[in-house]
Structure 1
Amino acid sequence: MDVSQQYREAWEGFWSATSDTPGEAIWDSDPSVTSVPDTELLLPHADITLPVVDLGCGNGTQTRYLATRFAGAIGVDLSHAAIAHARRADPAGVAEFAQLDLVDAEAVAALHVRMGDTNVYMRAVIHQSEPEARPAVAAAVAALLGERGRAFVAEPTPASKGVLQQVAQGPDGPPEKLRRVLAHGLKPASATEEEVRRLLQEAGLATLADGATALVQTEYLPDGTRVELPARWFVLSRRGARGRAPEPSGRP
């Protein structure tokens, strides 16, 4: 299967209209409040001698941090424009970046053949994917893990909609960063927590740990409070995966 042309164009349009300025995308928060705490939840379960794949990497902010914690990192995104951003932001080549449609099972399988078993980082991808594509997104996580990889997945819960509505109802309407998301037809927080759990389970993934969290945004409420979207995180393995990951021993 493939994503719809409308969905593909929405993301190309968004990233093409976004500058290289860090934080211009509403979700492009500093790793200190995103992938740093997320990685601390993943590391007790993960083999850091494996590389990590950042699914839906956008401009690569989190991928570059992940590359410092695992034996290599590759960020993939549906949008060619996003990958161009990511490569410009990484002149030293700390990470690798490639365009990839997660619902293209053959392309995902080819990446697994090239990389071998990998760890996976996926932050807020299922919720904004087209409903018919979500099972394939979850299946991509399982395919990349193989027997040895572990995944960190975080998705906003329906309570996020209330937060976004509050943001949109400011005295001047939606702030610029949220307005740009909506203007490109992107629909945040459109998957329920129950759906996310079901998709992960049906993809053959086993939950090793999970909990409540918040997805910290780069936008603020009128009173100066930083926008944080209620979310749920999961650390996952392929169901029935053999063996136990080595204990992490610092940077590779």
Structure 2
Amino acid sequence: MNVAGGYLQAWESFWRDVPDEPGAAFWDSEAEVTAAGHLPLFEGYADDTLPLVDLGCGNGTQTRFLAGRYGRVVGVDLAAAAVERARRADPGGLAEYRQLNGADAEAVRALHAELGDANVYMRGVLHQCEPDERGPLVEGIAELLGVRGRAFADELAGAAKGVLMGLAQQPGGPPAKLAAVFAHGIAPGEVPDEAIPDFFRSAGLDVLEQGALPLTTTEYAADGSRIQVPTNWLVAGRRG
């Protein structure tokens, strides 16, 4: 998420180049196997009368699904090309979409001033941040939550590295959708499993629940099954 570096350009080029169709990105699984599985873990903690911010919304697949469950949903992404994709895929305007760097404290404060306390949904964004922006990103989440909001975060587990390396080192090379990610200079950073909840605690939030789930990707193994990558999830917020 370091706008001064090349990462923003990498994401812009990725979202410009990836085919404009559902499931074209490696992680862009249907909401029915992604956000729908996360909601039962989150709903018991979140006030659904609050707005929800989908942080790192990409092309908005999960955002549109979440818009059917919350009154106001705002998808935000660092890359303008992703935001443009999300808007095109949502002609009915189920959700709102904006370009925003979640580690930009001033921009996040302005969004919180507009929305009030909000819930936050985030998948895999910490692993895609520059290391020095991970703390500020979670501090931004804490700002968006305020007192009443709750966050759901799902991040790659340490074991995901072995899965991704195994895919990359296949005799025929990585699956096409994963190769497209690597070709744009995008690769997940290594964040220890225990560091993720620590980021939230350091931002003044309580970790209310946590667990493990597989991320179902849009690529298939040789046996025809969906490739899955291990992730860890948590729910965080300020105890009432």
TM-score bracket, normalised by the shorter chain, equals: over 0.9
- Deviations 1:108-148 (CA, angstroms, capped at 9, x unpaired): 00000001000100011101211111111111111100011
Is the CA contact (8 Å cut-off) linking 1:213 and 1:230 kept in structure 2?
yes
* Conservation of the 8 A alpha-carbon contact between 2:197 and 2:207: no
State whether structure 2 residue 183 is matched by structure 1 residue 183: yes
Q: Residue by residue, what CA displacement relative to the aligned partner does 1:164-187 show, whole Å, maximum 9, x if unpaired?
A: 112222231011111111111111
C-alpha displacement of 1:51:
1.0
Match of 2:138 in 1: 138
Equivalent residue of 2:42, what SS?
helix
CA RMSD of aligned residues (A): 1.3
Aligned partners of 1:83 and 1:225: how far apart in 2? 31
CA distance in 1, matches of 2:91, 2:215: 28
- Classify 1:2/1:113 alpha carbon distance in 2 versus 1 (closer, same or farther; 3 Å): farther
1:230 corresponding residue in structure 2? 230
Matches of 1:152 and 1:108, distance apart in 2: 17
Look up the match of 1:13.
13
Aligned residue-pair number: 240
Is the 1:161–1:189 contact (alpha carbons within 8 Å) kept by the matching residues of 2?
no
The match for 1:218 is: 218
Alignment of 1:84-233 (within 5 A): 84-188=84-188, 190-233=190-233
Distance 1:40 1:68 in 2: 15
Q: Distance in 2 between matches of 1:2 and 1:59?
A: 20
CA distance in 2, matches of 1:207, 1:104: 23
Aligned to 1:40: 40
Per-residue Cα deviation, 1:200-221 (whole angstroms, up to 9, x for no partner) = 1111111111111111111122
- Secondary structure of the 2:166 match is helix
How far apart, CA to CA, are the structure 2 residues paired with 1:191 and 1:81? Answer: 27
> Is residue 108–residue 144 contact of structure 1 (8 Å, CA) maintained in 2?
yes
Q: Distance in 2 between matches of 1:195 and 1:3?
A: 23
Give me the whole-angstrom Cα distance separating, in 2, the residues matched to 1:175 and 1:97. Answer: 30
Equivalent position of 1:247 in the other structure: none
What is the CA distance between 1:2 and its match in structure 2?
A: 5.1
1:15-70 CA distance string (max 9 Å, x none): 11112210000010001111001011100111111110000000000000111111
The C-alpha deviation readout for 1:190-237, integer Å capped at 9, x for no partner, is 211122122111111111111111111111222323111111110110
Partner of 2:52: 52
Name the amino acid aligned to 1:103: A
SS in 2 for 1:44: coil
